[in-house]
Structure 1
Amino acid sequence: MKLLHQLFFLFCWIAFCLQQYYCTDIQCFEGPNFWCLNQTTESLCNFTNKTIGLCGYSNKRCQVKTGDSFCKSLPPAQQQSPFEFDGGITNADEDLFSYYVLSLYWPPSSCPKIYNETLDLLRYFCSPYTDIGQPGSERLVLHGVWPTFATKGNYQGWPQFCSAKDADWSKCHINGNLCPWKNTTSNEFTQGDYENCLSIENIQQCLVNATNVLLPEQERLKRLAPGYLGTRNLFINHEWTKHGSCCSSIFGNNISNYLAHMLDLVDMVTRPGSLTYEYIQRYSGEKIGIDYLVAMLNQTAIINCNSKCELEEVWMCVNRDETTGLPTRLIPCPSGARNTSDSCKKARCEYVFVPLRNQSQQILPNDDHTSSNLTLFLFIILIIILLKYVFFLSASCYEFLKIVTSQ
């Protein structure tokens, strides 16, 4: 009988360990090489009544049979590219993320030369301080600091619009229905339109007291985060409700504290002598090999390009301190994050060009640039020679006609 009790205890202990191993929330984010939302992951990750904010890519082997809030899959099975997912999970638990992404953008490729508050209102990145000659116009500046889930494979996602102790920020996601969809259909009404509507309608639940937050940091913001000084404070509202809400307890539920930490990080990674200063800022107006750049940044950054292979953003991976939870130092980016976020690779760019405002219309340099100039030079010489012969021929004809008429 004693042996039976011992065996029963051993069985229970093994079952408990297996349950902990297979049912831990953290594990549901760790791959191996694919991830999708289905019955198993909904249960494992406790995603009941959660919303996948963006439809990402899913492995073809995954079938979405319940919920269907991931990609709204229809028969036949999903046809997206395998081994990728890139999306936010609205109202996910704050404790699940494992590191931060510090996102920095390059204004010359993201903003107009002169910001027009009426036409460019929904371009969150931009403000009068990204205009030519302004302190935030020709340097890497703050987009945001984003809590990000762990990944051992190619899964890449993040918590967004979370419920904090003092507020339910999930309502600030477009599915929150706090603002009416006026004169449009749901397909045309974007998250940006929704947040603009929240501001116009003065929906306090999704607005921050930006004056108290921004005024003390205004001089630093002009240089390090010029977009945060844009019209109606749309940028800071967006970054706090979408990302800051999912790590708010770490920053004492204090948006000023969150902003100060973000600015400190930007200053740390962009000041003279920093890696981005040495290998991006000093290459302004030139092109850089992407593999070389990533290696020089010690694998701590993901480079983002537009379709013209111009630098758009640099995402830097930052630790989540085991004790405080705060972002304190750069870490190598997980391979899964690099696989899903490498827009330069998807644009087939071997080099990234770092444009300047006065070069915004300049053609991206390439290896044929010198030969093109030589061809143009030879063409001009040929035209000059032809014009010379035409001139002499005309002069000869004139003399001939003159002789003929004189006779």
Structure 2
Amino acid sequence: MPLHSIGEIAEALGAEAEGDLALKVSGASEPHSAGPDQLALAMDPRYGDGIAKGRAQAAVVWPGADWRAMGLKAAIFAPRGRLAMAGLTRLMDPGPEIWPGIHPHAVVDPSAVIGEGAHIGPFVVIGRGAQIGARARIASHVSVGEGARIGDDALILQGARIGARVTIGARFICQPGAVIGADGFSFVTPEKSGVEEIRETLGSREEIREQSWTRIHSLGAVWIGDDVEIGANTCIDRGTIRDTVIGRGTKLDNLVHVGHNVQIGEDCLLCGQVGIAGSSRIGNRVVLAGQCGVNDNIFVGDDVICGGATKIFTNAPAGRVLLGYPAVKMESHVEMQKALRRLPRLNARVARLEELLPGGAGTGGAPGES
């Protein structure tokens, strides 16, 4: 691993540093386990005591920290710790090793266009008419379907599947096992189905009939903007007629499912196991925490934030903070949970009041007797 001086790291982070700026480190570590050649990460006073337990000579610390009293030879000051982590990890991450050029065990259709400086690993399959951008890196066992277009500086890791006619922007990052451009889950019955009936009646059914499902094929594809990241084993379905869309700068965690025709805006954050049903629209800068679900054919406005396991069944106005099943405003959910916890005490109180009433439980009479 290459060595980095404290001065070099501080410059990369745009941060102030003091002490021996020529001191070099090979990596980063938590304070209590840092070795003498590692940079301890103590960006919050809560972690300052850990430095004495380790052997670090330099650390990233909070503004105003007395780094000399901690026994350090140098310190970098980080006003915003997690932002410093972003810059530091970017500097120290060597990235995956991918075969330069086209590996002899890759299968590339003669009509495919491979950009200058691209790296194509072993057992990669690139289909007819596909276009791979300059400096793209594609690891082993990836398949890229016919007519797909992948932008410059993309990184697609092991076993990902990019379907036919999918369009992906620049600086795309795709973790192992993701599938982009599978057919949407779309079926119809010759007659009105039970699902359609209960949607109209909110649960009531006149009769239960046998029904069979007819497949609706997906003619659309998937369009992904610049600077999008897709997590491991995430699935994005192609559109039925129009493309499924993921806007610029949006980040999807592992095991996210985006249904057919879904339109997701820019700079959204979708955490693990989020599911978005077909034809829903998600605005810009929306955050969906783990296991959130979004019903089909609804709109979630800009800047909505949803807590973990929230289930959204109706349109959500812009800027709303939601929680619960079904989703309600977070403050309403908190009050509902408080009321729920009070129910046993309320029930006991009502029981005591009933005993005091004429003909109540305490007299052995039936409720309502006088």
- Shorter chain as denominator, the TM-score bin is under 0.3
Q: Which has the higher strand share?
A: 2
TM-score in terms of structure 2 length = 0.20
Q: Which has the higher helix share?
A: 1
Q: Taking CA–CA contacts closer than 8 Å with sequence separation of 6 or more, which of the two structures ends up with the larger relative contact order? A: 1
